[in-house]
Amino acid sequence: MFIDIHVHPAFYEPINADAELEELRHETLDIHKNGTAPLEHIFNQMHCAGLDYLCLLPEDYRTQQGGKVLVSNEEIRTLVDMAPDKFIGFASVDPHDPEAAERLEHAFGELHLSGLKLHPGRQHFYPSDKEMEPLYEICEKYGKPIIFHSGLSWEPDTLTKYCRPDAFEELAASHPDLRICLAHFGWPWCREVAMLMLKYPNVYTDTGALYFDCAQEFYLQMLTKDVPMTWIDRSLRHQVMFGSNNPRFEQIRMTQAIEKLGFRESTLELIRGKNAIDFLGGLPEGRKAI
Amino acid sequence: MMYMESISLLTKKYNEYTVITQQVRDILPRSGIKNGMITVVTKHTTTGITVNEALECLESDIEVFLGRLIPEDYPYSHARMLRDYGSTAGNPTGHLKAMLTGNHCHFPVVDGEIVMGGAQEIYFCEFDGPAHRTINVAIQGE
């Protein structure tokens, strides 16, 4: 079982019939020259990378984009329905939207999405803001996890101050039953993420970072030196999930690279998929543990 | 006179060799050109066009040969964030393999036929797949 917990489907062909929206996606995400991808290509890519499931993450920045939603919860539901044996869908809401709580209720209650994705740096909020409490309570009510962007973001109009790992401690401490993922290993503050995971078992991370060098070189630095491999292999092995942040970063070479770092096979099994299943609270109904 | 058509491919593997001779032949009658030159050129920088004999053993030898010359685990410079793309370059081997195979081939067209040797086949070479690829086929003549 190999799950990519961090995939942005903004350029999947079935949700890109509108050229204007596609252009907005290129500009907002600052990802260019990649075109759109038919699902057959996505499946080929998954096959080459050895991936069984992709967690698809939407982006809702509507209060900053004139009410437009970059990738909507409904589009994620559409994609999941097109390939329920391969896709797991997350929700997104804009915390500054007065209707955010109702939209999240709809995403979990009606659309049956599997978790919430938030980007404090792009959506300009601190994870400990009191205004966030209703969203956290809804996640707790439904038993759904939250993936937070943490660390550097390449997207324009992002401020890193909102997503430094230590900004999440208050949330982790005050909501011990809420599973949260500080994505991208909080790069470059990987040791702060390690500190939080050591202290708070409800804190997870993913490996969706490749800001320098090739996948093998970057992972060697981040996952064996910045954070010594023994820390992950011995102490944090139940809290690290594979994530690619595709299409920003490449899935195939990242999945290959993680296999070569020297982790115990049992640790690799956790990183590949078992931790993601725990984080999700189990695979969605009807999905098989391959 | 100049005529052009494109061939689209959805490659399935990281490195993959696809014979496209028949697809190229099929384009020629639609051009109406009887005598001239046909050029097959890929639109990409991590794919190649080459001409060789279509044998499984040769495909394997070509793949192993290119892999030996251009190993995956070499410290290439083309491994960094690219601002124009907003993503990390991870395909130096694709670029270098494409440089070795070249990006095009030419054949004469005589009396409405592509003049090729009996063992010659046109290969599209994928060096950074899977991907959606486009090959242009341009025919000049009369």
Here the ipTM equals: 0.90
Q: pLDDT tens digits for B76-123? A: 999 999 999 999 999 999 999 999 999 999 999 999 999 999 999 999
Share of chain A above pLDDT 90, in %: 96
Q: Which long-range contacts (CB under 8 A, 24 or more apart) does A274-277 make?
A: A274/A1, A275/A204, A275/A238, A275/A239, A275/A240, A275/A241, A276/A3, A276/A5, A276/A55, A276/A241, A276/A242, A277/A1, A277/A3
Which tokens in the block code for residue A46? 């998954």
Asked whether residue B8 is domain-assigned, the answer is: no
Burial tier of B140 (Cβ tally within 10 Å: 0-12, 13-18, 19+): middle
Check pLDDT > 90 for residue A285: no
In a domain, B102, yes or no: yes
Mutate which: B45, B70, B87, vs A, most A CBs within 10 A: B87
Residue B34: strand, helix, or coil: coil
User: Is A30 near chain B, with CB under 8 Å?
Assistant: yes
**Interchain CB distance below 8 Å, A32 and B85:** yes
- Please check whether residue B61 lies inside any domain of the structure: yes
Domain A3-280: give its CATH code.
Answer: 3.20.20.140
CB pairs under 8 A between A and B: 62
Residue B22 lies in a domain: yes
Distance from CA of A45 to the nearest CA of B (A): 6
Q: Is B43 on the interface with A (CB under 8 A)?
A: no
Write out pLDDT tens, residues A245-276.
Answer: 999 999 999 999 999 999 999 999 999 999 99
Answer whether A44 sits within 8 Å of B88, measured CB to CB.
Answer: no
B57 found inside a domain: yes
User: Which pTM value belongs to this model?
Assistant: 0.94
pLDDT in tens, B30-54: 999 999 999 999 999 999 999 999 9
* CATH number, domain with residue B96: 2.60.120.460
Q: What pLDDT is recorded for position A290?
A: 65
pLDDT in tens, A81-128: 999 999 999 999 999 999 999 999 999 999 999 999 999 999 999 999
User: Domain coordinates of chain A in residue numbers?
Assistant: 3-280
Identify the CA nearest to A86 among candidates A22, A29, A41: A41
Min Cα separation A236/chain B (Å) = 27
Q: Which domain holds residue B47?
A: 13-141
User: What integer pLDDT is reported at residue A288 of this predicted model?
Assistant: 72
Q: Which chain B residue is nearest to residue A257, measuring alpha carbons?
A: B73
Interface check B8 vs A, CB under 8 A: no
**Strand spans (E) along A131-208:** 146-148, 180-182, 203-206
Q: Where do we find the tokens 């097959």?
A: B40
How many folded domains does chain B comprise?
1
Q: CB distance from A42 to chain B under 8 Å?
A: no
